[in-house]
Amino acid sequence: MAKALVLFSGGQDSTTCLFYALHNYEQVWTMGFAYGQRHAIELDCRQNILAEIPRLFPQWAERLQDDVVCDLASLALLDQNALTSDAEIAVKDGQLPTTFVPARNLLFLAYAGAYAYRREIHTVLMGVSETDYSGYPDCRSQTIQSMEQSLSLALDSPMHIETPLMHLDKAATWQLALDLAGDKGLELLIAKSHTCYAGDHSHFHPWGYGCGQCPSCLLRQRGWEAFCRTR
């Protein structure tokens, strides 16, 4: 049976990837990470989304398999950045954003490979994109391709890292969610997912919860507005 493991944070992009996996694979596992992130509310959101999917999409209920959350709390001790501390969220010319967590995606994929190996899963999905490029070098296609090769060699087993959003902007990501999951999918994304770097889940906007000011919120808002203009 076609199997896939989704790196699922509870944000818009990873939820869209979960829709994609449930649409295209017969068995889908999910993996999240607790790494001391200031927006740890996403861990609660991911559970809420997983609980809603069987109710909203009964055709996917049997496809959804086990979920696991890996404890990577030590990651916050290795580097002081705006996602694992109260440092300022900022993007400065010529520098990586302060929200960059060094090697985070590489660690996520290494854990995913270890988990997938024993379950004979050969596809890992993640929601990285280089179109709305945030400055994160571990989101680039070249990085993912390199990691795919390294995992396959290290495990002595083929491992494919699928990135459905790699060449989509945020408006196209909203459209993909609609195509895969319909209006119910959009409503679930808006009501239940969390993408705000600041961890603000108290202010509600047409595109979902967030502070409305951090780079992640602004990107999501602009994408939503562009998507709405095309509907």
Q: Is the pLDDT of residue 173 over 90?
A: yes
State how far Cα 49 lies from the chain centre: 13
Domain locations along the chain = 3-195
CATH class of 3-195: alpha beta
pLDDT per residue as tens digits for the range 189-215: 999 999 999 999 999 999 999 999 999
Question: Residue 85's pLDDT is what?
Answer: 87
> Residues near 179 by Cβ (< 8 Å), separated by ≥ 6?
none
**Whole-angstrom Cα distance, residue 23 to residue 19?**
6
| Beta strands per DSSP E along 64-202 | 64-71, 123-125, 160-162
Question: Residue 134's pLDDT is what?
Answer: 64
